[in-house]
Structures are given as C-alpha cells and as structure tokens.
Amino acid sequence: MNKVFDIGKFDLDVTLRDAALDPNCRPTKRMLANASIGVEPFDAYYSARELYETLQGVFQGLMALFLPAMPTLPKAHRGISIPVLEG
C-alpha cells in the first residue's frame, strides 16, 4: 500500500544536522547522519542499508570461522549480535 504525502518543501539536512550534533545519539547514528548530509534520501538509505548488510555478512562469516574452533565457550556467550541501526 503506497501512500503519497504532500509535505511541500522540506529540508532534510536540518534534521540530519541536528542528529549529527546531538550528544545523546549513538556514535553510529551521528556518523550516518553526517555522511548523509547533502545526499539524496534514497541514496543515503540504500547506502546505510548496504553497509549494514555488509557488516552483518562479515560478522557472520567471522563467527562461522571462530565459534566451531572454540567449543569451550559457554552457550550464553554464543548469542553475540551486531547492534541494529535505528533511523
């Protein structure tokens, strides 16, 4: 279901600049906000998504290499996950 909202002129860079300078935001979110200033919104979204998927794949590949070689790890420590990028 696609909806189109007519919001008129909207400067996304102002919102991104606020997020980039907010000390309460995580460093990951601030870094993505800084990298997205001046970029088309769809390009910024897909670039961030591609970065997330790449890091997730690298991390899962590393886990597949090292976890079978370490059988002494307690089961509780095997549930390591990558932090999710929030918008």
Q: Is residue 1 part of a domain?
A: no
pTM: 0.56
pLDDT in tens, 1-37: 577 767 777 788 999 999 999 999 999 899 999 999 9
Q: Is residue 32 part of a domain?
A: yes
pLDDT given for residue 73 in this prediction: 47
Q: Is residue 33 part of a domain?
A: yes
Determine whether 36 is exposed, middle or buried from the number of CB atoms within 10 Å of its CB (0-12, 13-18, 19+). buried
Domains in the chain: how many in total?
Answer: 1
Which carries the bigger pLDDT value, residue 2 or residue 73?
Answer: 2
pLDDT in tens, 32-71: 999 999 998 889 999 989 888 888 888 787 766 666 555 5
CA distance 1 to 8: 22
Centroid of chain to Cα 8 = 28
Range of the domain at 51: 12-67
Q: Is residue 7 part of a domain?
A: no
Q: Is residue 29 part of a domain?
A: yes
Q: Is residue 36 part of a domain?
A: yes
